[in-house]
Amino acid sequence: MENIITQWNIFKEKLMYLGYWDKLVSHLETIVMIILIGVLLFALMNCFLGHQLMRLWMTVIGLGIGGCIGGYLGLRQFYDKNAIFLTATICAFAVAIAATLIYRVGLVVLCGGVVFATLELLFPVSSMSVHMGFVALGIVAGIAAFERETIVVTWITGVCGGLATARAGFLLLGWDTMIAAVIVGAALAALGIRYQYSQIRKHPPKNRKRKKQPA
């Protein structure tokens, strides 16, 4: 806990030095609302189109993860706005390109990112060990997709998309109720998974694994 407080104070001092802190505080409510609207739209699309638009989600989530990592590293190392922005941009595109071109990296980025973001939205806590646990669960989910891609991706995007949609929607309405969000999210997840499977039956995914050449 002390480490989290120390890190937060460092970031706060950096943001104040760069002139961003006052802007963030004065526009905090608007920023949170924009983020929640973005989460709502992304989660809803992911719930119903997770498997169909898998490559797109790999790229988008890769940009987000890379940007966050780059921004974090930039804030730790630099006091120059351009250097921080450049670090965030380079990391964002590096992770996005890796997720797009290297299929297994993309699966981990997609499944891991969706699982981690949903858990963070549902269970906002300050414990670093809990955050690392969420990361570990996301990585496990991504690795599981190596062998059962269609099932794992469909269920992760459906369930996480439904829960995140309900949670974000309720927060936008000012309803901070977890039980209702889970009930509505479960209903959306069931609809989303059913729709995804209907599309998979109509358009079966091609086998992406390379076939072994006969000797």
Q: What per-residue confidence (pLDDT) applies to 207?
A: 52
Q: Please tell me the least confidently modeled range out of 41-50, 61-70, 139-148.
A: 139-148
Mean pLDDT calculated for residue range 102-126 = 83
Contact residues for 62 (Cβ-Cβ < 8 A; gap 6+): 92, 95, 96, 97, 98, 99, 100, 106, 109, 113
Instruction: Name the token pair of 99.
Output: 């997720």
Q: Which residue has the higher pLDDT, 14 or 63?
A: 63
Q: What is the mean pLDDT of the chain?
A: 82
User: Which of 9-23, 71-85, 90-104 reaches the highest mean pLDDT?
Assistant: 90-104
Instruction: Name the token pair of 54.
Output: 């898998």
Give the model's confidence band at 206: pLDDT under 50 very low, under 70 low, under 90 confident, else very high. low
C-beta atoms surrounding 199 within 10 Å: 14
pLDDT above 60 (res 209)? no
Q: What per-residue confidence (pLDDT) applies to 155?
A: 93
Mean pLDDT calculated for residue range 110-116 = 87
Cα 80 to Cα 66: distance, rounded to the nearest angstrom: 19
Q: What per-residue confidence (pLDDT) applies to 21?
A: 65
How far from 169 is each of 122, 156, 176, CA to CA, in Å? 12, 19, 10
Mean pLDDT calculated for residue range 40-52 = 90
Give the model's confidence band at 117: pLDDT under 50 very low, under 70 low, under 90 confident, else very high. confident
What is the pTM for the complete model shown?
0.74
Contact between 78 and 119 (Cβ < 8 Å): no
